[in-house]
Amino acid sequence: MSSQIHSIHQQLVNKDITCTALVQEKLDLLKQNTNNTVNALLDTLALDLAAKVDAKIANGETIGLLEGIPFGIKDVYMVQGTYTTASSDLLKNYKSAYTATAIQKLLDAGAIPLVKENCDSFGHGSSSENTIFGAVKNAINPDLVGGGSSGGSAVNVAKDYTVFSIGGDTGGSVRQPAGYNNVYGLKPTYGRISRYGLMAYASSTDCVGPIAKSIEDIRIVLNVMSGKDAKDQTTYASAEITPDSIANSNTIKTVGYFKNFIENDSIDATIKADFLATIEKIKAKGIAVKALDFFESETLVSTYYTLAMAETASNLSRLDGTNYGNRIESDNLKETYAVTRSENFSEETKRRIVGGNQVLSQGFSDAIYLKGLALRDAIAENFEKDFSAVDIIISPVTPNTPPKIGDSLKDPHAMYLSDAYTVGFSLGQLPTLTVPQGTATGLQITAAKNNDELVLKFANFLKDTI
């Protein structure tokens, strides 16, 4: 699909539509939607901002490319004065005191926030069923899950309720729901976009990621949100990615894929066949394709979950009903903490807090947590070696197609294994993009650190190739 941002911008400038009518139309769609994508509508704010854009256009003033473009925000981002619930009982009544840097940059560019979007609570999940607002339903087949954790964001984009949405990706939460709903979703290089104001899940892999229907819209939104931020010491300055720089793919000579992802009993037969057919099409364009060795999926998933649980147990310790969260009073302070956290966290979140505290505790941390850290280093080294031999790595996004609503809740271990292809790239902190092509749940394109431009370039090439 071509850029919706460019086309809406042109319609606004030509006065074919008003911003108010556009925003109202999207708000109505969101209000009526039956996919459970909405935690809160930002209707007053959105309509106020739209009126200002219309006034500017009426005065003959020029507007920026993102000015008046409606977008959605996963409900884990601070937007001052709005509820930020993380889809949890604990923060059901929590209002943000400030605005996340990435979101502020979009607001400064004139984009219009419509909605705080449903997701797995605190980013914990792969199906957007771990939420107090009801399971998000898949955009293509509402009996299936929307994917997670940024399920509401991906479904809103797929359904055209938002032009783009901002998800968060710790271990696949932008890429997997993008794949399940046939849209683009980017996890940029770790540190390219500030995490300030994104509720912390696993701080060492948390990334801000855009979801949209075209590569061009991903590019535009990525550029606006990127950059060094004094409020997040892991951020770095990056060069703007121009349309020209990603137009021509002739610098890409070699593409790799992980043999063990494909030659594996747990991959769906059709996803495997489609992936292998894609490889043949790439080869037919004169690009060399190399099969690479990699860690077993089980190792990737256990390493990721060991570290993610440890980090989330630590990050969520502040949510005890004192400074944050719905407090449930009990006999004494200790009991009050216990009851507040037991009653207000979901089963899945509690599983992770217990697991995380276990792997960090004395007597276990050497054998489990430190081993996880060592494995992460080994995974990163493996990527470095791979990217000296290939320009791009491609993989399916998921081993299987989206499960029926209800199935993942019955079997959390199966849900964790559905992250087999996404978590490794998160541990490597690499830029990786889901494109809605190649297999039923898309393809994942990954490049070396800080090479987000190459990822978009290859996506452009694939768009015309397969």
Could you give the residue numbers annotated as active site?
A: 74, 149, 173
* Alpha helices (runs of H) in 143-286, residue ranges in sequence order: 151-158, 175-180, 215-225, 259-262, 269-284
Residues in the chain: 466
Contact at 8 Å (CB) between 192 and 452?
A: yes
Instruction: Write the CA distances from 318 to 162, 206, 323, 324, 456, integer angstroms.
Output: 33, 18, 8, 7, 38
- In the range 126-145, which residues lie near ligand GLN by CB under 6 A? 126
Give the side-chain half-sphere CA count within 13 A for 31.
8
**Which range binds ligand GLN by CB under 6 A, 124-132, 232-240, 265-273, 430-438?**
124-132
Least distance (Å) between residue 308 CB and ligand GLN: 5
Scanning 4-12, 123-131, 191-199, 441-449 for contacts with ligand GLN by CB under 6 A, the matching segment is 123-131
Query: Can you tell me the distance from the alpha carbon of 292 to that of 443, in angstroms, rounded to the nearest whole number?
Result: 17
| H and E: helices and strands count for the chain | 17, 11
Question: With CB under 6 A as the contact rule, which of the stretches 120-128, 224-232, 284-292, 315-323 interacts with ligand GLN?
Answer: 120-128
Nearer to ligand GLN, 77 or 461 (CB): 77
Q: Do the beta carbons of residue 84 and residue 103 sit within 8 Å?
A: no
Q: Which of 170, 315, 434, 446 binds ligand GLN (CB under 6 A)?
A: 170
Helical H segments across 33-125, by residue range: 43-58, 101-108
Tokens of 325: 């969260």
Q: Which of 70, 125, 147, 438 is in the footprint of ligand GLN by CB under 6 A? A: 125
| Contact call for residue 87 and ligand GLN (CB under 6 A) | no
Of residues 405 through 424, those in contact with ligand GLN by CB under 6 A are 419
Which of 54-62, 122-130, 243-251, 253-261 is the region at the interface with ligand GLN (rule: CB under 6 A)? 122-130
The number of angstroms, rounded, from the C-alpha of 303 to the middle of its chain's C-alpha atoms is 20
* 84 vs 173, beta carbon nearer ligand GLN: 173
Least CB distance from residue 125 to ligand GLN, whole Å?
5
Binding mask 291-330 for ligand GLN (x = CB under 6 A): -----------------x----------------------
Count of residues touching ligand GLN (by CB under 6 A): 13
User: How far apart are alpha carbons 125 and 147 in whole angstroms?
Assistant: 8
Q: Does 171 bind ligand GLN (CB under 6 A)?
A: yes
Interacting residues with ligand GLN (CB under 6 A): 123-126, 149, 169-173, 201, 308, 419
